[in-house]
Amino acid sequence: MQTHNLIDGAWVGASDGATLRVTNPARDEVIAEVASVGAAETRSAIDAAWRARESWAAKTAGERGGLLSALAGLMRRDTDRLAALMTAEQGKPLAEARGEIAYAASFLSWAAEEGKRLTGDIIPASAPDKRILVLRQPVGVTGIITPWNFPAAMITRKLGPALAAGCTVVIKPAELTPLSALAIGELACEAGIPDGVVNIVTGDAATIGDALFDDDRVRKLSFTGSTRVGQLLMSKASEHLLRLSLELGGHAPFLVFDDADVGKAVAAAVACKFRNAGQTCICANRFYVQDGVYDEFVAGFTEAVSKLTVGDGAHEGVDIGPLINDAAVEKVESHVEDARSHGATVPVGGDRVHPKGLANRFYAPTLVEGMTPDMKLASEETFGPVAPVARFTAEREAIELANASEYGLAAYYFTRDASRLMRVAEALEYGIVGANDGGPSTAQAPFGGVKHSGFGREGGKYAMDEYTEIKYVSWQL
């Protein structure tokens, strides 16, 4: 298990020997101590990325793509090892961790090919002796800051297009889940990605973050995390006019119309809500169900939720692992208590569960009926395995409820009416809309939000725009 930082192709500890503890959330056991570096080491990582940038950008897209494909292949080769590491530090069930490794590798494979299609333009000029050329060039040294809920995929979703576009990177993974990031770093070395192209630093977030911001050689920062930190980073970025991509929080509505395939909606609701124990920025946070199918949907949802098994994600067959830390469980408890105090009922779950020999960090998959707009569940990100449900009568009412959020990341709805399908897709103020689909994420599609969910798009050809500058060459013959 790698616990040092990757700087200029070498594995190094903090200069003062400081370390950061990594805990298995299911067992509350320390599983590793990784380097906890500061501003000086972060500057060394930026130095390395700066030195490597010209030769990396000078490689052909095919050469860069070949190295990205090699890294993707190594991740696939090591799926079981990487998944076990992820489950140990993050808690998600092994099957989901394996799925995340495949998903993470897919961003590298996609970007490896997409880099070859990074074309410019030649525009007809307005004078006969002039030519207008538009070049797309790499932004340069890029900072990447990622969260703990998807410890591998949130890195590769940025790393793939950044490297494919010709940028070099300094990655700061979440303090809670640095091991997956460092393991990807080892594979990047094995794949033959040159020294300095990928650097990884772990340690205090604000210290490393400030070192990235304070260095004008860093030209771009791509961040996935909370809206609170995103806003902080945006205010810091303004001093340096640093280019940003921000993928922030969400509060996804899930609408079920009378004309929906209710069985399909229930299956999607379970997958979309309870994956990663509900700790996913695009997972459904609030369910609105039309009167005509309300009873059928709630009965099906209740039955499906009551079958989910809770336990250590390292054991095969577990559906719901622990929450990431004590604060996460306390937040979920406070949301459910708040709902109860406002008159909601809880047909399934509604409390912690205590699997034998494990930490006190498990919350039962929960259904809350009678959600009203004044409840925390209706407006704040719960980030846990709780599904609040409310009724609606008219389509317009459902859209107003869905859009009544400061967030705008993902929304879901179920209908078999083709006109409604298009109408609702257009009316939802969200970056990602799942129409009869609870799992829209995929490497080739644009992922990102509007409003307080941030800006910029990851995935597919759109991601390349985030890591390229447009240069206009006006050429007089």
Q: Does 145 bind ligand ADP (CB under 6 A)?
A: yes
Question: Measuring CA to CA, which residue among 214, 74, 80, 221 is closest to residue 146?
Answer: 221
Question: Which residue is catalytic, options 281, 395, 458, 466?
Answer: 281
CB 177 to ligand ADP: min, Å: 9
Give the Cα separation of 467 and 287 in Å (integer). 36
Nearer to ligand ADP, 147 or 460 (CB): 147
CB 66 to ligand ADP: min, Å: 30
Give the Cα separation of 148 and 324 in Å (integer). 8
Question: Measuring CA to CA, which residue among 190, 187, 144 is closest to residue 168?
Answer: 144
Considering only 163, 171, 174, 266, the residue that binds ligand ADP (CB under 6 A) is: 174
**426 Cβ partners below 8 Å, 6+ apart?**
none
Applying CB under 6 A, the site for ligand ADP has a residue count of 14
Question: Measuring CA to CA, which residue among 278, 366, 354 is closest to residue 312?
Answer: 354
CB 154 to ligand ADP: min, Å: 9
Give the Cα separation of 18 and 204 in Å (integer). 11
Count of residues in the chain: 477
**281 counts as catalytic:** yes
Considering only 2, 90, 106, 146, the residue that binds ligand ADP (CB under 6 A) is: 146
Stretch that binds ligand ADP, among 7-15, 47-55, 60-68, 168-176 (CB under 6 A): 168-176
Using the structure block, give the residue that is written with the tokens 């969200």: 430
Give the Cα separation of 86 and 24 in Å (integer). 10
Q: Residue 340 in contact with residue 387, Cβ under 8 Å? A: no
Give the Cα separation of 444 and 406 in Å (integer). 27
Nearer to ligand ADP, 172 or 457 (CB): 172
Alpha carbons within 13 angstroms on the beta-carbon side of residue 306 total 10
Q: Does 147 bind ligand ADP (CB under 6 A)?
A: yes
Q: Does 140 bind ligand ADP (CB under 6 A)?
A: no
Query: What tokens does 262 get?
Result: 């209710």
Q: Residue 410 in contact with residue 285, Cβ under 8 Å? A: no
**100 Cβ partners below 8 Å, 6+ apart?**
83, 86, 92, 150, 151, 152, 153
Interacting positions 198-257 with ligand ADP (CB under 6 A): 205-206, 209, 225-226, 229, 232
Q: Residue 449 in contact with residue 248, Cβ under 8 Å? A: yes
**189 counts as catalytic:** no
Query: What tokens does 76 get?
Result: 């696939």
Nearer to ligand ADP, 246 or 262 (CB): 246
Nearer to ligand ADP, 170 or 174 (CB): 174
Stretch that binds ligand ADP, among 90-98, 108-116, 171-179, 265-273 (CB under 6 A): 171-179
CB 233 to ligand ADP: min, Å: 6
Q: How many CB atoms lie within 10 A of CB 54?
A: 11
Question: Which residue is catalytic, options 41, 89, 247, 369?
Answer: 247
Nearer to ligand ADP, 225 or 253 (CB): 225
Nearer to ligand ADP, 280 or 468 (CB): 280
Nearer to ligand ADP, 187 or 229 (CB): 229
Query: What tokens does 314 get?
Result: 């390292």
CB 207 to ligand ADP: min, Å: 8
Stretch that binds ligand ADP, among 144-152, 296-304, 410-418, 461-469 (CB under 6 A): 144-152
State the pairing for strand pair 19-24/29-35: antiparallel
CB 156 to ligand ADP: min, Å: 15
Stretch that binds ligand ADP, among 121-129, 140-148, 194-202, 395-403 (CB under 6 A): 140-148
Catalytic residues: 247, 281
Q: Please report, as ranges, the residues that interact with ligand ADP according to CB under 6 A.
A: 145-148, 172, 174-175, 205-206, 209, 225-226, 229, 232
